Amino acid sequence: MLIPFESPLTCGVLIKRYKRFLVDVLLEDGREITLHCPNTGSMKNCGEPGCRVWVRMVDKPGRTLPGTWELVETAPDEIACIHSSRANKVIGAALAVGAIAQLSGFTTIRPEVTLTQGGSRFDFLLSDPGECVVEVKSVTLALGEGTGAFPDAVSLRARKHLNELITVAENGRRACLLFCVMHSGIRRVRPADEIDPVYGQLLRESAKRGVELIAWGVVPSPAGLRWGVELPVLL
């Protein structure tokens, strides 16, 4: 299953990322432009100057920047999608056709659901029959030899989501944390203990307390995002 981009991508070379949401790119036609970087993380191992990148140019009235950074070549023949919100679109499409075996069989798929007042907004609520709460995390941090890790920076938000998933599981509902691996070179996922050891401990604790951990690979290319296969989660 291939999910294409809304418009063709343009190739270039990364000059630098700065102020978190800005990136300078040298396009193949020689133009140097500033674009939107749609990733709030550290983008460790995904943002080295000189890397080959693909961007989506957008000609839209009122838009401040002329396009968005989508893909980066992190190593020969290895591409990552750094547009983190695309993980939810890929997972949503996969859920709709029952591509994820562990999460198939539900007739209702609701995105962005808040279960309790003041609580986090979870990515999906699957229901009928039963219910399953699903939180999606985009993984792009490749450590080499096929291993990927999450998170790529200390994340209080990710810890909060895990704690709330534990509460969901202990209240009798199914709760699932789904790592959407948006990097063609990653074949297994583990917690990034060297970056956020608290998250690593909490992830292991969540598995013991009933939270399901699933990882699925996505193969990014300039043509789009192709749904891959289930990957192991190493604790």
Give, in order, the Cα–Cα distances in Å from 48 to each of 65, 74, 150, 204, 210. Answer: 21, 8, 19, 31, 38
Structure tokens at 120: 């986090």
Global pTM?
0.94
| CA separation for the pair 18, 52 (Å, rounded) | 17
Q: What count of other Cβ atoms lies within 10 Å of the Cβ of residue 190?
A: 18
Give, in order, the Cα–Cα distances in Å from 187 to each of 19, 76, 235. Answer: 31, 16, 15
- What domains are there in the chain, each with its CATH number? 2-81 (2.40.50.580), 86-231 (3.40.1350.60)
Give, in order, the Cα–Cα distances in Å from 126 to each of 137, 175, 178. Answer: 17, 10, 13
Structure tokens at 234: 């190493």
| CA separation for the pair 85, 123 (Å, rounded) | 11
Q: In what order do the strands lie in the sheet with 174-181?
A: 2-4, 224-231, 212-221, 174-181, 131-139, 121-127, 108-114
**8 Å CB contact between 164 and 206:** no
pLDDT tens sequence for the chain (235 residues): 899 999 999 999 999 999 989 999 999 999 999 999 999 889 999 989 999 999 999 988 878 899 999 999 999 999 999 999 999 999 999 999 999 999 999 999 999 998 877 778 999 999 999 999 999 999 999 999 999 999 999 999 999 999 999 999 999 999 999 999 999 999 999 999 999 999 999 999 999 999 999 999 999 999 999 999 999 999 9
**What are residue 124's DSSP bridge partners?**
111, 134
Count, residues in the chain? 235
**8 Å CB contact between 191 and 150:** yes
